[in-house]
Amino acid sequence: MLTFQTLSALEDHTAKMRARIERHMKNGVLFCDLSAQIAEDVVIGSGTVILPGVILQGGTVIGAHCTIGPHTVIRDSRIADNATIKQSQISDSTIGNGTAIGPFAHIRNHCEIGANCRIGNFVELKNSKIKDGSKMAHLSYIGDTEMGQDVNIGCGTITVNYDGVRKHRTYIGDRAFVGCNANLIAPVSIGKDALIAAGSTVVESVPDGALAIARSRQTTKKERASAIFEKKGKR
């Protein structure tokens, strides 16, 4: 039940948010509406666009000419100039110049992401350092990892960092290419210019320039599928 005290507190909060938004707008920040929640100590650079549903918390610093949102939460993080953050959550991390995040990415626990990186939809990063130009477009978990420049991470890749007792790190060298649905079992190192075949589970380090294939050989038994379906009464 709404009380006078509740309505009064809401009115006070709304007034504070409006005043903060107006202060940032005077400094050249564009707000698409008044739904943003901006903490007192947040800094936003000129030319940045704040879309609806954005929450900026703690000591967050947003650079110039960024696009933030919609529906993005950033806490105690630094976002460099020209970055784009779409429908994602970022905490205690740094994002480099021109990097694109999201939609629906989760970056946490002191990640450092370089310039012109691409962290796509449903990617989670935890306690990792990603250098300039590296890309992971979708559906990956990268935890406790140090990644070089211009690395490509395929869809569904996981750095398996936890053995049930301790966390372990994964190292991926410059320009490595990791195929889709690969599991990198830490501790493990992937060398520069290395190629990891799709569907591989890598348990040993891969040297520079090497191709690693870690999957069982396919066996195809002709007409067996029809026999199985018939036995189950499906056909």
Is residue 110 domain-resident?
A: yes
Residue 115: what pLDDT?
98
Query: Greatest CA span in the chain, whole angstroms?
Result: 75
79: three-class secondary structure by DSSP: strand
pLDDT at site 15 = 84
| pLDDT at residue number 235 | 55
Is 69 a domain residue? Answer: yes
Residue 3, in any domain of the structure: no
Looking at the chain, list the stretches that DSSP marks H as alpha helix, in order from N- to C-terminal side.
4-26, 224-231
pLDDT of residue 226: 85
For position 226, which CATH number holds? 2.160.10.10
- Give me the pLDDT at residue 8, please: 76
Query: Which residue range forms the structural domain that includes residue 190?
Result: 13-231
> Hunting for tokens 């205690």 — which residue is that?
92
Distances 210 to 43, 131, 136, 149, 217 between C-alpha atoms, Å: 45, 21, 21, 17, 20
What are the structure tokens assigned to 103, written together? 């939609």
71 is catalytic: no
| 7, part of any domain | no
Give the number of domains in the chain: 1
Residue 123, Cβ density class (10 Å: 0-12 exposed, 13-18 middle, ≥19 buried):
buried
Q: What is the pLDDT of residue 6?
A: 75
Residue 158 placed within a domain: yes
Q: Residue 78 falls within a domain, yes or no?
A: yes
Please give the order of strands across the beta sheet that includes 129-130. 43-44, 61-62, 78-79, 94-95, 112-113, 129-130, 145-147, 170-172, 188-190
Q: Per-residue confidence of the chain (235 residues) as pLDDT tens digits?
A: 557 677 777 778 788 888 899 999 999 999 998 899 999 999 999 999 999 999 999 999 999 999 999 999 999 999 999 999 999 999 999 999 999 999 999 999 999 999 999 999 999 999 999 999 999 999 999 999 999 999 999 999 999 999 999 999 999 999 999 999 999 999 999 999 999 999 999 999 999 999 999 998 889 998 888 888 888 776 5
Residue at 199 is within a domain: yes
Q: What is the pLDDT of residue 232?
A: 78
R_g of the chain computed on alpha carbons: 23
Catalytic residue among 65, 71, 110, 138: 138
Task: Give a yes or no: residue 191 inside a domain.
Answer: yes
